[in-house]
Amino acid sequence: MKSRFSVFAGFVFYLTIISACTPSQTQLATKKINLAKVLLATGDTINSLLHLDSIPGLYPDARAEAHKAKEISYKIYEAKLTRQREKLTASQKIIGSLISEFRAEKGEFSKSTSYVHNRQTIDQNWTRSFIQVVVNEKGGLTLLSNYYGEKWLNHTSFRIVGEGFSAKSDSVALDQVNNHHGDFNGSMWERITYNNSPQADALIALIAASNGKKMKAIYQGATTYIFWIEDFDKKAIKDAFDLSKAFKIKSEAEKMIPELEKKIK
């Protein structure tokens, strides 16, 4: 009997020691808060919030720490909300300053409105060759190469060349729907639409950042056709590029603001 009691007493003593060595929920919650603060100091708000927001569920007994974590989270969400509101205001100003330079167009089957720069509308430019960029209301950019001449060029791509730089578009085969051909009064018209490709995005960004530098467009097909890109075309493309960025920032801010407002209620 005495032996059994000794074993039981030893077991109880062992549990007491183990319990004393195990961190409490308060200690664990505090450790998580401190880690969240370190992450916040490095600018990692996402992981900081993940740690803070997990405390009430992980450590229900650490009520004071959960309240402290909530206060820190509230300040982070409030700062995020302020930044998104500032971004929304700034993007709206940019859109307001640029939108008058564009003509809004929406096809019968289009889901969104597209904006074509006033200097690049087809009805005013169909008798010349030029590089064109169209932006939609979601900020998506579409690159187009337009050719006008006395004979078919049958171009499938083009290259931009300037002092110290060169970049090429992707290729669109002649039998593709995005490679359009037409004729009017004995003249030939070709138009290629380059949709959602890294090469197209890179070319648009390159032209937008030209800062007045001279650059040639080289259409590549059955033969080669070369021309200087007009300054007003470069400006139109930069305007489209800037409008695209503003549309994207506006869209993201409008999505984030209601979500963040819910977090601080």
For 126-164, how does the pLDDT look when each residue is reduced to its tens digit (9 = 90+)?
899 999 999 999 999 999 999 999 999 999 999 999 988
Average pLDDT over residues 63-86: 92
pLDDT over threshold 80, residue 7: no
Structure confidence at residue 25 (pLDDT): 84
Q: Percent of the chain scored above 70 by pLDDT?
A: 91
Average pLDDT over residues 243-250: 98
Structure confidence at residue 14 (pLDDT): 41
Structure confidence at residue 111 as a pLDDT band (50, 70, 90): confident
Average pLDDT over residues 17-31: 72
Where is pLDDT greater, at 120 or 165?
Answer: 120
Q: What is the DSSP letter of 84?
A: H
Distance CA 49, CA 9 (A): 45
Predicted TM-score (pTM) of this structure: 0.83
Structure confidence at residue 3 (pLDDT): 52
pLDDT over threshold 70, residue 13: no
Distance CA 41, CA 33 (A): 12
**Closest residue by Cα to residue 78 from 263, 258, 250:** 263
Distance CA 247, CA 192 (A): 25
Residue 232 CB neighbour total at 10 angstroms: 12
Question: Which helix (H) or strand (E) is 47 found in, with range?
Answer: helix 45-58
Average pLDDT, the chain: 89
